[in-house]
Structure 1
Amino acid sequence: MQTYKFHVNGMHCNSCVVLTESELGDLPQVKQVKACLPDLSVEVTGEFGEKTNEQIAAELSTTLQPHGYTLSLEKETKIINWSDFYKAIPIAAGFIVVFIALQKMGIVNLVTASEVSYGTAFVIGLIASVSTCMAIVGGLVLSMSANFAKEGDKTKPQILFHVGRLASFFILGGVVGALGSTFQLGIAGTFILNLLVASVLLILGINLLDIFPWVKKLQPAMPTFIGKRVHSLKNINHTLTPMLVGVATFFLPCGFTQSMQIYTLTTGNFWTGAFIMFTFALGTLPVLALLSFSSLGIHKKAQSGIFFKTAGLVVIFFGIFNLINSLVGFGLIPPLFNF
């Protein structure tokens, strides 16, 4: 038995770490896997016979390729495609202009000076569904689908998964909101948590731009063993397994989910927390549902760079907006926007 170290191409967040370790760990010839986000690498211990390192990397890559990752012996030279910004900036600016216009006209109310609204949660859910959620939840959906497809059942498991996911985000979101009331956060506590939400959004947005590798080290994450436990549920062959997996996704290491959970804690209200997390999960539903019933894969598209940079700029906008609103709400600065 020998340990090999490979570079993981395509890894960009803690969800990728969990997915890489879980997928490779399921292989019979692999005994132990340890992925490292800062180094974008993975150490694999197992029995591979007389195969060369190149052959092992190619063999393991076939398992990871459906999720957008490949392994290599040498670290790929990072080439930033600055031309993507030529399209990403106008698209993001257009979204922001429309957002502000609708906000001014009172047609939508995505952001207020004191709270994250349901509309904001929904939009953040949409963005999350094609980034960190796509990595970990999407990988989970694909793996689970493959397992149940072998049994000839393709539709029912997917429906149960999404029902379980939406229900858990509603109920557990409410629980988190209710817990906030027991802590008596006060103005200062709420201010600190709102700053944390804004910081998480800024980090996630900058990471989506994919131009500052060191930002990956700043991403918040739940303990990886939680993600591994959730991911292992897909191998349990039971009728209600998809629903259980859907429920468990509330605890997966997705930065966007965690930012919403932190905000939900500040609401101090069961129903507000429940609907915030529910609308966030509802925002992730369209893409994850398409992924469930098709071979959708944003990471594989030629325009993925433009898309992620656009999404990153929009998330940064929300992060800055939340930061400003937190400072206004605490009385540190006067209101900068008249909505």
Structure 2
Amino acid sequence: MAIMKFRVHGTHCASCEIVLERELKTLAGVTHVEASHQAGEVTLTVSDDVTLGSHDLDKLMGKHGYTFSSLSVKHEQTVNWSRIGGALVLVIAVYLLAKWSGVLTFSPNVQSGAGLGAVFVIGLVAAVSSCTAVVGGLIAAFSSRYAKEHPNATFHAKMVPHVLFNVGRLVGFAGFGAIVGLLGKSISLSTQMNGVLVIAVAVLMIGLGIQLMDALPSSYAIRPPKWLSHRIHALSQSDKPWVPAVLGAMTFFLPCGFTQSVQLFALSTGSPTQAALTMLVFALGTAPALVGIGAATSSMRGGGLGKLTKVVGAFVIVLGLTNVANGAALLGFTGVTEVEGSTGAFTPVLVDGKQLVQMEVTRYGYEPNVIEVVEDIPVAWEIYGGEVLGCADTLVVPKLNITKRIQSGFNTITFIPSQPGKYAFSCSMGMYRGTLIVK
């Protein structure tokens, strides 16, 4: 046996490693392949009598946009400050657009059109990204096998495996999404621990967003295990009729920065229902290209796709930064509301010896989101909850140990503020935020 190494160009993420390893292994005389997006290399174990050059690898992998060269070609991974600067400008632009459109205040539920629409768009982009080469490989594997075993089957019969695959994918993403949400809920033991969880998830989301934007060298990338991806691909060789549906569901675990970022967001919701809905909408976004309906969209490659991927990466970073602010609110920091600006301050009215303050929970947050009261005088805090869903159905004031379930209609919280200062309040996930000022 002999070892041959080549420099590979055009990889984007861990999914590229899977594509390279599986396809290069089909070359005659190649017994093992190890690809590394981080190092920009592929290592081939070949028979002693086999000679391969970079042109042989180009011929096989050119359809995926990969090219190869001698390992002697230098491949230095350095920080490109101009690229980072451009990425920062893009992140700011996406933040302003997302804030203007109301996307940043969404909790994924049936009334959150803007937020779920953003998740759907991420799915559309993921469906035409290089990451989908892995999913496309699965589809090609079982469809070609079915066509070979049923050469006289009608078009509709040949479409059955594709339908099963996509149905399995939708059901699997919703089901596994619910489990992810349940996991997020189970480890949210307290408001403070929930804040820590949200910030931890946010940091991972920011890392994935940076990875999608290709703003830092690939050595900083987050990498899932490759063995699971290979096991899923191996399953595609089975002749069982239920395999396409199982494969569709198992694509939840394939490496893809888009999928991982949405999975992390689903985890941060701490709700099985919201997480399942989030993952289902994402899978729906990927469905058109996977079933061939979006053939025209799938033709996007090269620079156009790269720019679109960077925009999505910027959006993931914005979501991550927003979740940092959410977590900070849950930990009791008031500076977040002050930086974002207020919707006006409500001063109390004295009624029957109590300070009466009023606030409404809307789809955009708390109105007003700044409440002023005076110390040592009982407070009656009236909160009107409209059609409240998601995390907005709970209000927490961490430093005052107040947790209140908000029902539709009027809700009242009574307490006596004993210490002047600023107290952050928010929904249970920190998405809706405000400040209580005690004078």
The answer, yes or no, to whether TM exceeds 0.5 is: yes
Give the equivalent residue in structure 1 for 2:416. Answer: none
Structure with the bigger percentage of helix: 1
1:172 aligns with 2:176: yes
Identity within the alignment, %: 33
TM-score, normalising length from structure 2? 0.63
Greater shift after overlay, 58-67 or 146-155?
146-155
Q: Describe the SS at the equivalent of 1:176.
A: helix
Given that residues 194 and 263 in structure 1 are in contact (C-alpha distance below 8 angstroms), is that contact kept between their aligned partners in structure 2? no
Give the equivalent residue in structure 1 for 2:368. Answer: none
Post-superposition Cα deviations, 1:195-252, rounded to whole Å, max 9, x if no partner, equal 2332233223322333422xx2333232211111112222223332221210111111
Whole-angstrom distance in 2 between the partners of 1:121 and 1:263: 10
Tell me: CA distance 1:141–1:294, structure 2 relative to 1, closer, same or farther (3 Å).
Answer: farther
Given that residues 9 and 67 in structure 2 are in contact (C-alpha distance below 8 angstroms), is that contact kept between their aligned partners in structure 1? yes
Tell me: CA distance 1:122–1:328, structure 2 relative to 1, closer, same or farther (3 Å).
Answer: farther
Give the equivalent residue in structure 2 for 1:107. Answer: none
Given that residues 114 and 325 in structure 1 are in contact (C-alpha distance below 8 angstroms), is that contact kept between their aligned partners in structure 2? no
Q: Which of 236, 239, 255 is residue 237 of structure 1 equivalent to? A: 239
Whole-angstrom distance in 2 between the partners of 1:95 and 1:219: 22
Given that residues 4 and 45 in structure 1 are in contact (C-alpha distance below 8 angstroms), is that contact kept between their aligned partners in structure 2? yes
Please tell me whether Structure 1 or Structure 2 has the larger radius of gyration of its CA atoms. 2
CA deviation after TM superposition for structure 1 residue 41, in Å: 0.8
CA deviation after TM superposition for structure 1 residue 165, in Å: 0.5
Quote the RMSD (CA, aligned, Å): 3.5
Whole-angstrom distance in 1 between the partners of 2:140 and 2:171: 21
Given that residues 122 and 312 in structure 2 are in contact (C-alpha distance below 8 angstroms), is that contact kept between their aligned partners in structure 1? no
Whole-angstrom distance in 1 between the partners of 2:289 and 2:207: 23
Unpaired stretches in structure 2, ≥5 consecutive residues: 110-114, 343-363, 365-439
Whole-angstrom distance in 2 between the partners of 1:323 and 1:170: 26
Give the equivalent residue in structure 2 for 1:121. Answer: 119
1:319 aligns with 2:320: yes
Question: Partner letter of residue 203 of structure 2?
Answer: S
1:140 aligns with 2:138: yes
Question: Partner letter of residue 138 of structure 2?
Answer: L
Post-superposition Cα deviations, 1:48-84, rounded to whole Å, max 9, x if no partner, equal 7353x42xx333333333333232224476898x89x
Give the equivalent residue in structure 1 for 2:101. Answer: 102
Unpaired stretches in structure 1, ≥5 consecutive residues: 104-109
Given that residues 158 and 292 in structure 1 are in contact (C-alpha distance below 8 angstroms), is that contact kept between their aligned partners in structure 2? no
Greater shift after overlay, 328-337 or 28-37?
328-337
Give the equivalent residue in structure 2 for 1:73. Answer: 70
Q: Describe the SS at the equivalent of 1:262.
A: helix
Whole-angstrom distance in 1 between the partners of 2:268 and 2:99: 25
1:62 aligns with 2:59: yes
TM-score, normalising length from structure 1? 0.79
CA deviation after TM superposition for structure 1 residue 132, in Å: 5.8
Question: Partner letter of residue 329 of structure 2?
Answer: V
CA deviation after TM superposition for structure 1 residue 113, in Å: 7.7
Q: Describe the SS at the equivalent of 1:138.
A: helix
Question: Partner letter of residue 256 of structure 1?
Answer: F
CA deviation after TM superposition for structure 1 residue 4, in Å: 0.7
Whole-angstrom distance in 1 between the partners of 2:161 and 2:295: 11
